[in-house]
C-alpha cells in the first residue's frame, strides 16, 4: 500500500474518536439540560439521568485523552528537557513515550479486570451493568497506544534523519 493511501485511511480512522467525543458531549449536554429542566421547572427529576451523566462523562474523559494523545497535546513539565540538545530531547521523548506505552498496557489489563469485576453490578436507576462505565478504560487504551506508537515512530524517524544529516 502506498504511503499516501495509508495516511488517507489513518485520517479516516482518526475521525471516529473525534466524532464519538463530540457525540458524547452532545448527549451529556442534552441529558443534563433535560434533568435541570425536569427538576427545577417541572419539579419532577428523572432518576436515571444522574447515573447516565457519570457514565457518559467517563467515556468523554477517556476519548478526550486519546485525542489529546493523538495530537501530542498532554501537559508536560519540560524544564529539564529544554536544557538538552534537540537530539537528546527527542531521545528523552521516545523513552518517556515508551514508559507511557507500558503504563497504557497496565491500564488496559486492569481496565479489563475492573470491567469484569463490576459487570454483575447494576446501576440502580438505569438497571444496566456498571461494567459499561469501566469498559471505557480498556476500550480507549489501545487507541491511545496506537497514537503513541505513531508519535514514537515519528520521533525515531526524526532521530535517524538528524543523524544522517550530521554525518554529511
**What's this model's pTM, rounded to 2 decimal places?**
0.81
Residue % of the chain over a pLDDT of 70: 98
How far apart CA 145 and CA 108 sit, in angstroms, is 10
**Cα angle 71, 137, 145; round to 5:** 40
Cα–Cα distances in angstroms (integers) from residue 26 to residues 66, 118, 157, in the given order: 18, 27, 39
Take residue 68 and report the three cell numbers written for it. Answer: 489529546
Residue of 69, 83, 91, 95 whose CA lies nearest to 147? 69
How far apart CA 74 and CA 154 sit, in angstroms, is 17
**What are the pLDDT digits (tens) for 50-60?**
899 999 999 99
Take residue 26 and report the three cell numbers written for it. Answer: 452532545
Contact 121, 129 (CB under 8 A): yes
pLDDT at res. 142:
94
What are the per-10-residue average pLDDT scores of the chain (168 residues)?
Answer: 71 85 94 92 89 93 92 79 85 93 96 94 90 94 93 91 78
Specify the DSSP element, H or E, that contains 90: helix 86-118
All structural domains of the chain with their residue ranges: 3-167
Amino acid at each position: 500500500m502506498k504511503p499516501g493511501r495509508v495516511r488517507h485511511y489513518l485520517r479516516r480512522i482518526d475521525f471516529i474518536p473525534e466524532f464519538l467525543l463530540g457525540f458524547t458531549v452532545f448527549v451529556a449536554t442534552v441529558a443534563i439540560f433535560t434533568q435541570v429542566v425536569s427538576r427545577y421547572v417541572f419539579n419532577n427529576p428523572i432518576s436515571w439521568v444522574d447515573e447516565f451523566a457519570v457514565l457518559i462523562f467517563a467515556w468523554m474523559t477517556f476519548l478526550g485523552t486519546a485525542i489529546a494523545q493523538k495530537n501530542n497535546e498532554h501537559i508536560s513539565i519540560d524544564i529539564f528537557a529544554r536544557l538538552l540538545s534537540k537530539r537528546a530531547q527527542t531521545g528523552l521523548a521516545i523513552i518517556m513515550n515508551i514508559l507511557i506505552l507500558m503504563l497504557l498496557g497496565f491500564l488496559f489489563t486492569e481496565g479489563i479486570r475492573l470491567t469484569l469485576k463490576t459487570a454483575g453490578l447494576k446501576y440502580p436507576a438505569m438497571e444496566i451493568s456498571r461494567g459499561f462505565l469501566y469498559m471505557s478504560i480498556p476500550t480507549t487504551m489501545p487507541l491511545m497506544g496506537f497514537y503513541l506508537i505513531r508519535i514514537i515512530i515519528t520521533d525515531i524517524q526524526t532521530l535517524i534523519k538528524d543523524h544522517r544529516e550530521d554525518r554529511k
